[in-house]
């Protein structure tokens, strides 16, 4: 990418930074002079990402839903890069295979798994980052990964109600802590994509009916499924020093999802 962002020298933790949207952002951060720590549940994904990211990155395998994972990521950033400047929490995913779905079909296990994966893990990473920001002083930045499904539902194709609840919860949580910690110059924002092609979205991307729906629901650029690079610029802006006067905001990077009916003309 050619655009330069003011992240030079920043130390950034990217939870879930080894594939899809997280890896795309980590690559852009490194390309713009930042240092990154990336995490994943998969050791193989971590090693693959570190080969791509080069000497400006380090990382480890850990479960983001466990508190020690975020704590270790923050400590690694401080150890290797001197401080923590920003956290980008991308880790999360679908709980459909574990029992998420329409409310009347949702299992107890699916509810617990989906909330832990998408909401509890994010709260834990935000807590670890805020504690470090307060300890070192000078403020900091948090960017949380939401979804347009948190407030703009799609009942026919994306009826995963625990996932929607988690993503809506991310907005409320992020705005609440943005308000509380603004006096400490800690910024907290949310980026909310629509359907983007990532490892998580393969079920949807492989479904012809969903692809046709998305072509109308996300009409920008000819009507299509998004790419990780479509989200990259907005994420880097919100993480960068250029966004130093922005907090408590939710930015939908959605190809027009939230302003479209989703029907072919």
Helices marked H in 158-227 — which ranges? 161-181, 202-205, 208-217
Residues 6 or more apart whose CB falls under 8 angstroms from that of 197 comprise: 205, 225, 226, 227, 228
| Overall size of the chain counted in residues | 265
Q: Where are the domains of the chain?
A: 11-253
Residue by residue, pLDDT tens for the chain (265 residues) are 445 679 999 999 999 999 999 999 999 999 999 999 999 999 999 999 999 999 999 999 999 999 999 999 999 999 999 999 999 999 999 999 999 999 999 999 999 999 999 999 999 999 999 999 999 999 999 999 999 999 999 999 999 999 999 999 999 999 999 999 999 999 999 999 999 987 766 777 778 889 899 999 999 999 999 999 999 999 999 999 999 999 999 999 999 999 998 776 4
The catalytically annotated residue of 5, 88, 163, 181 is 163
The answer to whether 158 and 95 are in contact (CB under 8 A) is no
This prediction's pTM = 0.95
CA distance 103 to 92: 20
Per DSSP, the residues of 77-106 read: HHHHHSS--EEEE------GGGT-SSTTT-
| Domain covering 11-253 assigned CATH 3.40.50.720 in the classification | yes
CA distance 252 to 236: 14
Q: Give catalytic status of residue 5 as yes or no.
A: no
């Amino acid at each position: 990418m050619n655009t330069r962002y003011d992240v030079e020298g920043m130390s950034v933790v990217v939870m879930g930074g080894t594939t899809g949207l997280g890896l795309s952002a980590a690559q852009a951060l490194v390309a713009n002079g930042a240092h990154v720590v990336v995490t994943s549940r998969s050791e193989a994904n971590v090693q693959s990402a570190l080969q791509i990211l080069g000497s400006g990155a380090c990382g480890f395998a850990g479960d983001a839903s466990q508190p020690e994972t975020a704590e270790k990521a923050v400590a690694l950033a401080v150890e290797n890069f001197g401080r923590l400047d920003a956290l980008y929490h991308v880790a999360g995913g679908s709980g459909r295979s574990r029992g998420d779905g329409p409310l009347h079909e949702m299992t107890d296990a699916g509810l617990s798994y989906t909330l832990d994966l998408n909401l509890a893990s994010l709260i834990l990473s935000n807590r670890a980052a805020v504690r470090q920001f307060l300890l070192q002083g000078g403020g900091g930045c948090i960017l949380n990964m939401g979804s347009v499904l948190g407030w703009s539902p799609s009942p026919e194709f994306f009826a995963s109600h625990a996932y929607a609840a988690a993503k809506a919860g991310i907005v409320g949580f992020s705005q609440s802590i943005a308000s509380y910690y603004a006096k400490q110059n800690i910024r907290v924002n949310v980026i909310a994509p629509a359907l983007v092609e990532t490892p998580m979205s393969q079920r949807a991307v492989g479904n012809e009916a969903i692809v046709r729906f998305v072509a109308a629901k996300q009409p920008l650029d000819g009507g299509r499924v998004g790419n990780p690079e479509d989200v990259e610029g907005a994420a880097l802006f919100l993480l960068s020093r250029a966004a130093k006067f922005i907090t408590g905001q939710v930015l939908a990077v959605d190809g027009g999802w939230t302003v479209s009916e989703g029907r072919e003309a």
